[in-house]
Every structure is written in C-alpha cells, then in structure tokens.
Amino acid sequence: MKLPIVTVLVAISAILTTLISAQASEQEADKFITDLMNKMTLEEKLGQMNLLSIGSDVTGPIVSEGVDEKIRKGLVGGVFNTLTPQAIRKLQEMAVNETRLKIPLLFGYDVIHGHRTIFPINLGMSCSWDLDLIERTASAAAAEASAEGLNWVFSPMVDTARDPRWGRVMEGSGEDPYLGSEIAKAMVRGYQGDKSSQEKQRKDHVALDKVLACVKHCALYGAAEAGRDYNTVDMSQVRMFNEYMPPYKAAVDAGVASVMTSFNEINGVPATANKWLVDDVLRKKWEFKGFICTDYTAVNEMINHGVGDEAKVAELAINAGIDQDMVGELFLKYGVDLVKSGRVPQAQIDAACRRVLEAKYRLGLFENPYRFIDDERWKEQTMSADKLTLSKEAAIKSMVLLKNDNHTLPLNPKKKVAFVGPFVKDQRNLLGSWCAAGEWQKATSVWQALETKSQNILYAKGCNITDDDALIKRLNPDNAMLSKDEKSPQALLDEAIQVANQADTVVAILGEPFGMSGEASCRSEIGLFENQLNLLKALKKTGKPIVLVLMNGRPLTLKWESANIDSILETWFSGTKSGDAIVDILFGDANPSGKLTMSFPVNTGQIPIYYNAKNTGRPYNEKDKYRSKYLDAPNAPLYAFGHGLSYTTFEYGYIKLSSNILKPGETLTVSITVRNSGSVPGVETVQLYTRDLVGSITRPVKELKGFQKVALNPDETKTVTFKLTPADLKFYNSDIKLVNEAGEYQVFVGGSSDKVKDAKFTLRMD
C-alpha cells in the first residue's frame, strides 16, 4: 500500500516535533534540577535519598520516627504507607511550605493487587493468562491510588518462584520467566501508561490517573533457599539470566520508573550493596534510567549479612548506586561523614539526588505538588462501579478448575447443596495478603452471594480454620476468623455431617488463612490443616458428591483430595468480588478458564518442581533403577503448569508448520486447530512451547514461547496461529551472551504443559 507523500511528510514532521519537544522538555528538566541542586546542601541532598514510612504497615525491625520534624528540615525525599488525601496533603504542605527549598515529597504505597478495590492475588491473576485484563486491573489500581494522592506504587513484584513453601509466591506470576515478563510489561503499562504515552508524559508530566511503578525485588528474591523468606540465594549466571532476570528486564524495557532491590545476596554480595547488579546490569547493560530504592531496612540488614558496620553498609549501598534508603536512615546518618572522608564521592550523592528529583519533575510535582490530591476525584474513583465489575471479571478468570469428575460441577440449582467450611461466610480472608487499602468488610462472601442466588442451600461451619493454638498465636492477631468457635470441634463436625446428609451435593470451602502467605509467611508443609482434612474425610464418608473450593495463596499438596474428591476449584484469594465470582462458577453462570502458572506438587519433597526443568543425564524412567527419580513419589507434579479444566472440552488437531526450516530474517508459522467438543461455550488458553534439542549448554525440556486465548462455541473450530522468529529462540550461553544456536528444535502446542502435540523444525543460522 502506497501512502500519499503529504501523509508521509506530516507523519515524519509529527515524529520530529515529538522528539524535539521531548528533548526540549528534558533540557528544561535538566536545567531546573541543576539550578535546584546548586542551592542544595549535602544534607538536603541526602534527605532526598531518605524514604520513610508513616502508617501501620510495619514490615521490618525499625519504625520511622520523628518524620514530621525531618520533613520540615528537608531531610525526607518520600513517604510511604500514608493514606487519604487529607493526610497526604498535610505532609505535602509541610514539605512545600515549611522547608527551605520547598521540594515536594513522593508518596509511595504497596498497591499490589488493587488499591481500595481488591483484585485476585497476583498468582491468581497470572492464571488468567489475560494480559489485557491484568493491564486493566493495574490501570484501575493506579487511578484509585492516584486519586488518593499517591504517586508511586511498589509494584509489580516479578520474582520468578518455584518453591511454594515461600509465602511470597502469592505476589508474583509463578514459575515461568516468559509469562512473568509479559505480565511485568502489562502491569507497568497499566500503572504508567504504554511507552508512547510515557513519552508524552515526560513533556506533560504523568497523567492524573497514572503513577510511577517500582519493579521488585531485584533480583532473584524468589529463589530463597528452602522457600524460607529472606534466606540465601546462590545461583549460576546461566540460570539467573535465562530464568530469573527476564521479568525485571521486561519491566525496565517497558519503562518502569523505579526498581527496588531485594533482601537476598547475589554471588555472595547483598543485592543492596551489589554494584555489579545495580550499576553493571541495571544501569549499563539494561540502560535503566530511573531511580533505585532499597527494600525495608535492607541497608541496615547488611550488618547481619556480615558485610560491615552501619557506616560501611551505607557506604557500600551508596557506592553501589542505590538512590533511596527505605526506613533505615543510614544514608542520612553517615552520608556527610562518608563524603567528607572521601569514602563516598560527592558525584555519587549528586547522581542519586538528581534521579529522585527527576522522578518528582516527571510527576509534575514542582509545578503543582498537590496535583494528584483531589477529594472529588477520590470519591469518584474509589470502588467505582466499573472497578467492582472488573474485580468480578478478574476473579472469575483467575480461578482454576483442577478436577471435575462426573460433571459434579456446575451445580444444579434445583438440587439441595450443603455449603460447609469455615470460609463459607468469611470475608476477611478473601482479600489475601498485601491487600493494601482494601476493606474486607466490603468484600462479598460466598454465603452473601449465595443468598441472592439460590433457596436450596444449607450451611454448616464444619470446623475452625485451624485448631493449632501455636499457629494461631503466630499468625496475624487481627485475623478474627482464626478465633475458635464456641462449639467443640466434634460438635462442628457432627453438625456438618448432619447437614451433608440432607443435601444432594456437598461444597466444602477450605484453605489457608490469608496470613499464611505473603511476606514472612512461609510453610514447611503445604497441605490443608489436619482438622480441615479430617472434615473432608468425614464428608466423603457420607457418599455424597463433593466439591472442594479452595482459598489459598500458594500451590498446595492435595494428594488425598485429588484421589477422593469429585471436583476441585482453586479460587486463590480472589478479592472484593470473590463470593459473586465463586457462586457464578459453581452454578455455571461462568465457565472456568484459568490455567495454573505454578506446578502443584504431589508432596513437599518434590519441591522445587517446575515444568521447564532440565533433562539430566539419566532422565526419568519408571523401570530403570539408576534414573533421576524418587522411590516414593513420581517426578511429575499433581497438577502441571498450564493445567486447568473447563465445563466444556477442547480437542486439538495436529501442528502445521509453514516450513521445517527457520533462518534469520524469517518467521515460522505454527498453527493448530482447536475444537470445542463439549456442550457449552468456553475459553481455552492455547500454549506454545519449544525445546532446543542440542545446545552448547543444556536446555530445558520445554519453554513457553507464546499463548493465545480462544473463545469457542460448542462444536466450533478455530485455527490458532503462532509466529516464531529466531529471536524467540535466543538464550544466554555460558559467556552470558544472548545467542541463537543452529540445530533441531521441538515445538509443542496444547492446553497444558503436560498435554501437548509436537513437531520438529531446524534452526539454520547460515
């Protein structure tokens, strides 16, 4: 197609105008910041590097004190954990009206899966495999948070995680670096806008319904040994760059404004003092231009890591290139002396201060420090109808039907259903951990949703969430759901059996309390609590069909459940509209479409377990003793990455390749037909994997390279087409160079990583 010359010229001139004006605005920003910095004392510059918390969310050993006084002295660059426009305005007024240089504050917050309106926990959201939906939820959270006066969110959390004992798996997108990277990009777009709107925002400042994002926890936090939070990480660079680094890099490529370093060490050096990570990788290799903050007291914690005393760890962090010290205040305490004694170059402080000021400039805070604070907009945005609708959509799409024998689901509304379990009437747990400013009292419980849906329902609590007193004591005391029922465990059980006997089907809603996942919430065993499992076993003895609805923040071990229960629906903690979404799925008003993004192990002994593993020299073979395997458990997980059922079924045809050779500059088309072979409309996530059969280093047995969601009516068939280029097949070799290697590849397509069709092609590099 030929475009008229005039159109081309107009387009070129528009691009040039944007580039020139972006350059001009950058020059303007530079000049403004240089002038401002010329007036700043060293202490004031260190003040910009000081990030303090005011609020109840204390997630470490130190509580920020005397913050007001420090703000007034110009010794604070940003504050987090403060909510409401009134409180934020008050602090901003202090910074702007009472300090010498009137530099406004950044206002950060842990907006992790929604702000006031809560969406499913991130692990659940990732099971939707719906990037547009994920972007929309981040965008809604940005609109809600910014209307409150916040301008910076500590999200996305993109740590690849393969150990479900680690409580923070609930905050991330599971075990796969490709999916994790796509989700990282979608979330940055949602919070900050896409790349082109970010460019525009550099000139016109960040839009009022957007915020600055902060990708975390850089890097490798998800690989904490034994799934124990804050534990040591030790990893080869090949694994690091192929499997753990891609999501952080994806966020950087999407323009993320800031990065948070992690608590763990990398190559023996804590991330927060790691010059190689911060300077060589982030700033030089990845060309990251934003600012870098630490995690909560991570600088101080380097004393426990054993790399120095207070002054030394401050020196190490500043010299590594960290710009802001979260809560620990060691930059402020030692910065002046460190510069005067020559241990920290003045230029290092100037560069850090400049990067923080650049973020404030980008936000437009120097023009109007109150621009995000608007009571009217706050009222309008907070839990608005569209966000509640989105919350329900996200909840439905995140749920995963793990098992469904004999069409036990969907439920027949004409039949009597007994709802049993401590989560049936629960609201508190529905929001999950990191539920930011969400109010659990506004969440819809399953029972509330049921009451508007069906008359044919019975209820029994059945058991407490747990009867383990030591555990109850250790868990968040504000979780009232954990206080034990007045009735004895036996009385609760008897009641449940009586109710189950009156029903046609039993739905047991069980799981973990929300405080069992999230930060510092790891488990060494990840099954249902003993008392809940006992209830389930007693219900099974009634002989009624049983549906298990799970609420939890991590993959669980479900060996008995999977062998004995008819249907299992994983609902995670799915947010404000959990109840409505669960009830819609249970009664078939919505068809489940979620697919797992983390393998569910058979038992904890299999952990770490992930689909994209290496073949080893002695791959699994049941009949041969000297193979890589267990004597008491299979190698395969109970439910694989990508697994998830629907109320309908899908039939896959055979893979068709456009060629069996792929060369540089070419595209290989991989297509397959998918037919809805059941009786209701459904959505299938078609997954594409590859395997590099021979490489200079060993390669995973499968790697996700693409996916598409396809909606199909009964008997409808669609052809799903993927395009592969050599770039998609690149990997980091042992010199940590991103390369293509010629050779044979397998390509797989299917509805789960363990149920695929396959074909072969050759990559030629000549």
107 binds ligand NOJ (CB under 6 A): no
Closest CA to 596 of 275, 240, 173: 173
Among positions 48-77, residues that touch ligand NOJ (CB under 6 A) are 57, 59
CA distance 455 to 564: 28
Neighbours of 306 (CB within 10 A): 7
Nearer to ligand NOJ, 57 or 439 (CB): 57
Nearer to ligand NOJ, 295 or 584 (CB): 295
Q: Which parts of 17-144 are beta strand (E)?
A: 50-53, 78-80, 106-109
Place of tokens 């009137």: 102
Residue 549 backbone dihedrals phi, psi, to 5 degrees: -105, 120
Nearer to ligand NOJ, 64 or 139 (CB): 64
Find out whether 322 and 352 touch, Cβ atoms under 8 Å.
yes
248 binds ligand NOJ (CB under 6 A): no
Give least dist CB 155 to ligand NOJ, A. Answer: 8
For residue 708, the 8-state DSSP code is E
Give least dist CB 58 to ligand NOJ, A. Answer: 9
Residues 6+ apart with CB under 8 A from 703: 178, 612, 689, 690, 691
Find out whether 395 and 514 touch, Cβ atoms under 8 Å.
no
Find out whether 37 and 350 touch, Cβ atoms under 8 Å.
yes
329 binds ligand NOJ (CB under 6 A): no
Count of residues that bind ligand NOJ according to CB under 6 A = 8
Q: Which of 110, 163, 176, 295 is catalytic?
A: 295
Chain centre to alpha carbon of residue 20: 37
604 binds ligand NOJ (CB under 6 A): no
Per-residue x/- track, 501-530, ligand NOJ (CB under 6 A):
------------------x-----------
Give least dist CB 216 to ligand NOJ, A. Answer: 6
Nearer to ligand NOJ, 59 or 604 (CB): 59
Residues 6+ apart with CB under 8 A from 158: 172, 173, 180, 181, 183, 184, 215, 216, 247, 248, 250, 251
Give least dist CB 460 to ligand NOJ, A. Answer: 39
3-state secondary structure 569-592: EECCCCCCCHHHHHHHHHCCCCCC
Nearer to ligand NOJ, 218 or 332 (CB): 218
Nearer to ligand NOJ, 59 or 708 (CB): 59
- Residue sitting closest to ligand NOJ (CB): 154
Q: Which two tokens stand for residue 587?
A: 């009664």
Give least dist CB 215 to ligand NOJ, A. Answer: 11
Among 107, 191, 291, 296, indicate the residue that binds ligand NOJ (CB under 6 A): 296
Chain centre to alpha carbon of residue 79: 23
* 295 in active site: yes
Give least dist CB 317 to ligand NOJ, A. Answer: 16
231 binds ligand NOJ (CB under 6 A): no
Closest CA to 175 of 745, 726, 637, 708: 637
Among positions 183-222, residues that touch ligand NOJ (CB under 6 A) are 216
Find out whether 586 and 545 touch, Cβ atoms under 8 Å.
no
Give least dist CB 521 to ligand NOJ, A. Answer: 12
Per-residue x/- track, 550-589, ligand NOJ (CB under 6 A):
----------------------------------------
Kindly list the catalytic residues: 295
- Residues lying near ligand NOJ in the complex (CB under 6 A): 57, 59, 110, 154, 216, 295-296, 519
